[in-house]
Structure 1
C-alpha cells in the first residue's frame, strides 16, 4: 500500500504545484470489497468541488498512462477537501495549528484517557503542549509525540 501512496504522491505533487494547492494526505484503503484511492487537498481559504474535479481529472489521466499499471485492481479515485477536522500529519500542519483547537488520540492512555482536546500551545520535535479543560479547570498538558496515534483539528462545542 505504501508503494501506491508514494507513486500517487509523485504524480499528484506537480499537479498541485501548478494550481498552488497543498497535499494534505493520501489513503489507499479497502472498504468491503472495494478499493479507494483518496487524495486530500487544500489551499488558503479552502478548496472547492471544481478544484477537486480539476485535480481528479489530471491525476486520473496520469494514472491511466503508467505502464505497468501501479494499481492493478479496480479502485475509486476520490479527490476532496480534508474537511473542518483535517488531520495533522506533517510538521508544518502542527506549526500552523498553534492556537487552534485540536484532538489527539494515543497508543496508550495518558492519565487514564485515550484522547484529549484542547488548544495547541507549543510544538517541539518530541512533544505537544495543549491547554485542556478538565471539568471547570484549564490546565496545560505536555504529551510525548511518540505516544500520539492521531491528531486532527477539532470543532469546539
Structure 2
C-alpha cells in the first residue's frame, strides 16, 4: 500500500513573478499535479472513467493551504513529496512538501479531498465512502514521516 510519492519538477517562466520567484498561487497547481501523479502511480486517474459505473467517484477539494519557507526561482529544479496524512471513510488528506535540491524545505501544503458521487437525478454531489479499490492501495503515512523536518 502507498503512503508516499515523490517526483521532480522545474520552475517554468510562467510560474514566476517579476522577480523570477514562483508566485504563491502556483504552489497550488504543483500540489494538484503531484496529487494526480500519485493517483496515476497507483493505476488510477483523479477522474474516474465513464465505465466505472456506480463506483464512479470524484475528488473535489474541501480544503487547501500552503506555508512558504524559501523561494523557488525560474529554472530551478525541485522535488515534490506527497504524504498521505489521513484516510477517513470519505476523505483523503495529503501533506505535500516542496524541497529545493539542496534539501531546503521551500514550502509545505495540505489538500483535503472528499470522495463524492454525483446523483444521477439531481446532479448534486454527495460525499460517499471511499471505494475499496482505493482503500486497497492507499494508507496513511507513519507519524514520523509527517513530522515537520528540521529546516536548513
Q: Give the TM-score range, shorter chain.
A: under 0.3
- TM-score between the two structures when normalised by the length of structure 2: 0.26
- Structure 1 or 2, whichever has the larger Rg, is 1
- TM-score between the two structures when normalised by the length of structure 1: 0.25
* Higher normalized helix content (fraction of residues): 1
